[in-house]
Structure 1
Amino acid sequence: MSYEIIPQRPRDAAKIEKLLDRTFGPDRFEKTVYRLREGVEAVPELSHVAVDLDGQLLASLRFWPIRIGGKDAILLGPLAVEPALQGKGIGRALVRHGLAEAHHHGIEICIVVGEPEYYGPYGFENAPARGLRLPGPVELRRFQVFEMTPGALKGVSGMIGRAGEPDSPGVSAPRGSRRRTAPPA
């Protein structure tokens, strides 16, 4: 299958949301990692899509700015591939491309909640073992960190928070919103 990876275009936004619903379902907003995305824009230079030769959306990958113990980092995901095209390497190509772009932009730490068998080959390892925590329930084996620059995690531990918020023991809900108890990410 022929496709290319390009920066996310404004016209892709609505199609990406529909793809995410098909891939993860509408309850995806209840997951802990979505608390870190609320009220924050994805990093534009790290938001990419895979399109076929006709320009039709096949897959999407976004990264979000986060903070860990006073240090800037990114959150990988969601990674979504059209269900009929999963297992053909499109998602892996997007992850490779996205991590290379992040490294090029000087990002040192990346977090993901996903299958260790999928993300381990890129360099991700268990985040709780490195002293990191998320502000809600998460399946610990799926919570992973990638030290993109050797030594970047030295002295970094604690709760992961949204970018732009002061470091605190947790992530608060935006003003005027109510926080719901979320199932594991």
Structure 2
Amino acid sequence: MFTLSRETDEDWWEVEALYDLCFAPGRTALSSYRLRDDVPPVPELCLVARDEARRLGGAIRYWPVRVGAAEVLLLGPVAVHPTAQGEGLGAALIQGSLERARGRWSRVLLVGDAPYYARFGFERSGEIEMPPPTNPERVLTLALEPGAWDGIAGLVEKAR
């Protein structure tokens, strides 16, 4: 049994170690990380999942970005410890954080696997362009309120 809670400063290094474990060593070289440089995450949406013994099972973070004048949430990274994979923890982190985002944010963007994220309502967007070398087929969007992505197109940029 895992409990979701807001990530704290004390969680930071352990979450970073989880991301290192789950992703390639060069993860911070990805273009999505350039959008995060010197920009604080959205703290109320950064969650950790811990079991009864307080062991970290998963984590999710969000960052503010812009597409033109529009404020957008960039979901990621999200990771689940290999010993907890296949138990629905990734889905719980995504759903729990999206519920927290509703009413405060209108739109979410991520770079990921469309078949996995489609079950949460994400879909491919040919109108939104991540900085290279991102594969455009992996750029996915979700409207948290009807029409939130209408008329929004262009390059994703760092939050100001």
TM-score under structure 1 normalisation?
0.84
Superposition map of 1:3-152 within 5 A: 3-104=2-103, 106-128=104-126, 131-152=127-148
- Aligned AA (2:111): V
**Greater strand share, 1 or 2?**
2
Alpha-carbon separation, structure 2, partners of 1:144 and 1:56? 31
**Which secondary structure state, in structure 2, belongs to the residue aligned with residue 26 of structure 1?**
coil
**Greater CA radius of gyration, 1 or 2?**
1
Root-mean-square deviation over aligned CA pairs: 1.0
Output one character per residue of 1:35-58: Cα deviation in whole Å (capped at 9) or x when no partner.
111111110011100000122211
Alpha-carbon separation, structure 1, partners of 2:15 and 2:152? 33
Deviation at 1:25, TM superposition (A): 2.5
Alpha-carbon separation, structure 1, partners of 2:102 and 2:157? 21
Tell me if the contact between 2:129 and 2:136 (Cα under 8 Å) persists in the aligned partners. no
Alpha-carbon separation, structure 2, partners of 1:29 and 1:136? 14
**Which secondary structure state, in structure 2, belongs to the residue aligned with residue 37 of structure 1?**
coil
Identity value in percent: 35
- Aligned AA (1:126): R
Deviation at 1:110, TM superposition (A): 0.3
Gaps of 5+ in 1: 165-185
**Which secondary structure state, in structure 1, belongs to the residue aligned with residue 102 of structure 2?**
helix
Tell me if the contact between 2:22 and 2:82 (Cα under 8 Å) persists in the aligned partners. yes
TM-score under structure 2 normalisation?
0.96
**Which secondary structure state, in structure 1, belongs to the residue aligned with residue 48 of structure 2?**
strand
- Aligned AA (2:102): H
Alpha-carbon separation, structure 1, partners of 2:151 and 2:124? 16
Alpha-carbon separation, structure 1, partners of 2:108 and 2:22? 22
Deviation at 1:102, TM superposition (A): 0.7
After TM superposition, the runs of 4+ consecutive aligned structure 1 residues lying more than 4 A away are: none
Partner of 1:155: 151
